Structure formats: C-alpha cells, structure tokens
Structure 1
Amino acid sequence: MPIQFSGWKSYSEKSKHLKAGQEPKKSHGYIMYHGTHKSNATAIISSGFRASSGGTLGPGVYCSRDIGKAMGYPGSCAPGERVVFKLRVRVGKVKRIDSQNLHLKLSWHQNGYDTAWLPAAVAGMEEDCVWDPKRITVIGIAHCTDTSTKSSLESLIKQHGQVQNGNGKSLDQCKGCGMQTKDKHTMVKCWSCKASICPFMDKHVCQKN
C-alpha cells in the first residue's frame, strides 16, 4: 500500500521556538521573553532596551526562552505590576557559558561574542545576555494582568512597528503560523484533511485517518 504524505515541516530563520536545553545557533533569530515593571514598559517599546551595567553574565540585556524565568523579574516586583515582553532576538555569535567556559562569564563580548547563553543545566532556568540592545525587538505582551495596560502597550507596539517599517504598514501576526509579517500570508487547505493552514507553519499534522 503506498504511503500518503499529508503534512510537512518548514522553518523560518526569522524566529524560532527552542526548548531551554537546546543551544541557540549563530546568526539565528529566536523568540525570547523579558520581565520588567509596567512603569518601564512604555519607554522600552518606544526607545528600546538599555543594557544593564552588570549581572550574572556582565553588561547587556537579559532575556530567556523560558517564560518562567522572565516571570521572576524584577525580583521585587508584585505580580500585578509586572509586564513580560515577547521578543524576537537576533543572537549573532553565541557563547555557551558552562563549567568549561566560566573564565569567559564576564568577558565573552570582549572575546568576539554577541550573546552569552547560560544553559538550564547550569542555572536552573536558561538565560541569555545580549550585548547590543538593537538586536532585540519587542513583538508582543506575553503577560500583563492589567487589561487596560496590556491593550495600551499592544497598541504602542503596533504603532512603533509602523514607524520602523517607514511605510505606515504595521506588522500583523499570521493566524496560521504566528509569524509577524508585513505581507499577509495566503491560507490554503490541506489536500487531505482540508484544514485551513499556512505554508509557513512549523508543522501541520493531518487529522484525517
């Protein structure tokens, strides 16, 4: 009996979801998260991140592919005052910081790296430190218990996207693949189960037996 193929896997270099234990690859873009006090959120969206003067991995902007890590920051912030950004991060050249590379814990950038990666196996929850804030783009609000603040911030993200594009056209999220895109993706139907799907989806699992 011939095998019938009804699905696929495809990948985009623009943004990827990796588990916390998987090592980020050079020059790729990844979805990450960053927690902040809601009083700082507007300025971050409008003017970008500011690198910290220090931290576990030295100066830089701290973020994580583990939203649980971002939910713990700032440490002194009450849960209702916290905003967690969803980010797209262009990691550039990445240095893994583990027991073999602890000597580079604070000097990774001086040794030619753009991002330092602290694996979950070392820190409990994975953490990334990005040297250049321009490598980071806020693309959404992953957590905010204040619905009014969340709505306001999401509108600001959309407006800021219009300015960055320079053509008055905002980045919209495709309902099929979830990617932020200027040009609307054309949805198609699976040739087997007839489900509505986007050609840029990470994967489609056909439900037809």
Structure 2
Amino acid sequence: MSVEFCGWEAIKSSQGHLDSGQEPLAATGYTMYHGTYISNAADIIKNGFQRSKDGLLGPGVYVSRNIEKAKCYPQKTDKKDKLVLKLRVNVGKVKKIDTDNHLLQKTWHQNGYDCAWVPPMSNITSIKSGREEDCVWDPKRIKVVDVALCMDDATRHGLRRLIKKMRQNTNHGNSSDECHKCGKEMVTLHPVQKCWNCDDTICPFQSKHKCRT
C-alpha cells in the first residue's frame, strides 16, 4: 500500500511570549520591553543599546517581560517624553537572582552567564513593585521589533518606519536572522536537512510539510 501523505502540521500556542513569572530557558528568544526617552529611541533602533555602567544587577541592558515595569522608566519623566520599545531578546545562559546580597548579583557575567533574571515577588527589597526584570550583558542579543507604547502618534509611526527600514537593510546585507525555510526568527541556527521520505529540504520549525507524491 502506497503512502499518500507524510509530514506534519504544527499547532502554535496563541501566547506570544513567556509569562513574566516563568523562568526563562537558556538560549531562547523572548519578547521583552524597555522604557526610554523619546529622544534616545532612534539612536537605539539604528545603533543598538549601550550597556549601562551599573545598576541593581551590575552593568548591562535592563529589560523586562512585564510591560508595566517598562512603562515606569525613565523614572520621574513625563509620559509624553518617553516610550516603550518592544524587543526580541536571546537570553543565552540565565542566572536567577532572587535575594538581597546574592553572591552573583553583580558578577553573574564574570561567572559565565549572559543574562540575570529577577523573578516577580522576589526577596530583593529594592524592587518595590514586585515585578520581574532582566539584565542582558551583550546588547547584540537584543533586537528592537516595534514601538509598544508612545503618546505621540507621529513619533510612533516614524519610529516604526525606521524599524522596518533597518530590518530591510539587514536582510539586504544577507545577515538576516530569519530561517530561509520556515521564515521564523532564529535564536540559534535551525537544523535544516533533507526529509527522510521525499528528500525535500525542510526545517523542523516549519508549520507544515507535505511530502511530494
């Protein structure tokens, strides 16, 4: 009896990102947010983030999976002068910091970690809101994908056009981080290979594959 169909169809979860209370998995990409001054946004989109010199978790880029946390920054700034950027972050190797005076609170990177994560409702007394936050050592692990919140419509539209332009320029330079088979963003290279049945080149992250008859 001949096989008429061989392949798969994936059912994708409707939840687009990890809940803020879930511990991030190493080498995984997540949706996160960063609050900044409107005057800084275009430079961040064009040139990337700059690592802060210090902070609760030491040097790094501070982001959060909780947009309410990002909306609080920069602190003591009028809403019309700030915005929230939506990001895609490859967290790499993650260290959980959940207590005051943690041994690796500011030295996690020197100990082989790419990101430090403070879970929500941690025992760190300086985080009054109880919301989670992350500190990423390498700014290259962070990609701006959208403007999540901005009071001024014209500014938001202009920055979105800039984000689109930067993405197009990246793709034109053949340095796209999207898989050429499944079209999804790659945190690590996808294991593209030949289908065992029909010999088509496929990616296991494709939403569907039907073998040739």
**Do residues 89 (structure 1) and 89 (structure 2) align?**
yes
Query: Aligned ranges for residues 25-44 of structure 1 at < 5 Å?
Result: 25-44=25-44
Cα-to-partner distance string for 1:132-155 (whole Å, 9 max, x where unaligned): 000000000100010000010000
CA distance in 1, matches of 2:71, 2:38: 13
TM-aligned CA deviation for residue 121 of structure 1: 1.7
Q: Residue 159 of structure 1 corresponds to which residue in structure 2? A: 165
Cα-to-partner distance string for 1:80-106 (whole Å, 9 max, x where unaligned): 111100000000000000139811100
The 4+ residue runs of structure 1 with deviation greater than 4 A are none
Of the three residues 149, 157, 181, the one matched with 1:143 is 149
Q: Contact 1:116–1:129 at 8 Å: present in 2 too?
A: yes
- Higher mean alpha-carbon deviation, 114-123 vs 43-52, is at 114-123
Taking only aligned residues, the RMSD between alpha carbons, in angstroms, comes to 2.9
Structure 2 residue runs of 5 or longer lacking an equivalent are 1-8, 178-183, 187-205, 208-213
Q: Contact 1:93–1:113 at 8 Å: present in 2 too?
A: yes
Q: Contact 1:16–1:29 at 8 Å: present in 2 too?
A: no
Local SS of the residue matching 1:83: strand
In the alignment of these two chains, the number of paired residues is 169
CA distance in 1, matches of 2:25, 2:111: 17
**Do residues 63 (structure 1) and 63 (structure 2) align?**
yes
The structure that has the greater radius of gyration is 2
Structure 1 residue runs of 5 or longer lacking an equivalent are 1-6, 172-178, 182-198, 201-209
Q: Residue 196 of structure 1 corresponds to which residue in structure 2? A: none
Give the share of equivalent positions with the same residue, in percent.
Answer: 50
CA distance in 2, matches of 1:133, 1:17: 20
Cα-to-partner distance string for 1:103-133 (whole Å, 9 max, x where unaligned): 1100000000000000112140000000000
